[in-house]
Structure 1
């Protein structure tokens, strides 16, 4: 079973990295062009990232969007979770019936403990 990062998760990572590396306030248009994501999608992802506290926004003449201090300490996992991704260490954590060892497996509960951190 292949697992991939959803596009919005990829876009979110690109946006946070761009804002963290470039510093200062940026406009949506500038971010969109820099990360290669359409402006409406960029705006949507920015709203989600703002709700999770990874970016801050300021209105007005000198306003814009910038990475928040918490973005500097965020992991890729944190950003992907913000975007609604469900990331499992093993398929058995999300689909227990997929594992033939499930009734007697001694690893599943340990993986679940690690994943919950």
Structure 2
């Protein structure tokens, strides 16, 4: 499993918005995180569509969290961008292995994946911002 650059940026964006607790313009989000502006807009759109951010149009427009930092986990944001987390293709919903039920390797990888996803699910953005410098 490798988190994409887009998911990494999304995590940074949500952390920034969680820490500020206020509405921030897309341009400011892009500049402060070193993310290309158009790419920032694409990421923001996905997170808004998933219901985790809300957007405001116009002169005083911007973005802010639509849920509390306690309600948003690392897993939520990663899966918004990258889809379901799967260490191997056989662990995805489409599954590809003919030995699905009897494969020891699949069972072991599933165990590791469960540990990773449970950990990502247990870390909220409240946890993240609590450790961020002022």
TM range (shorter): 0.7 to 0.9
- Structure 1, unaligned runs of 5 or more: none
Contact 1:55/1:71, CA 8 A, preserved across alignment: no
Cα distance between partner residues in 1 of 2:103 and 2:53: 45
SS state at 1:86 partner: coil
Contact 2:3/2:82, CA 8 A, preserved across alignment: no
Aligned length in residues: 109
Aligned position for 2:131 = none
Cα distance between partner residues in 2 of 1:76 and 1:25: 21
Q: Which has the larger radius of gyration?
A: 1
Q: Relative contact order, CA 8 A, sep 6+: which one is greater?
A: 2
Contact 2:4/2:82, CA 8 A, preserved across alignment: no
Contact 1:20/1:72, CA 8 A, preserved across alignment: no
Cα distance between partner residues in 2 of 1:18 and 1:87: 23
Aligned position for 2:107 = 108
TM-score (norm 2): 0.66
- Structure 2, unaligned runs of 5 or more: 122-134
Deviation readout 1:40-76 (Å, 9 max, x if unpaired) = 0000000000001111011233321111125541111
TM-score (norm 1): 0.75
Aligned position for 1:75 = 73
Cα distance between partner residues in 2 of 1:68 and 1:12: 15
Change (3 A) 1:58 1:104: closer
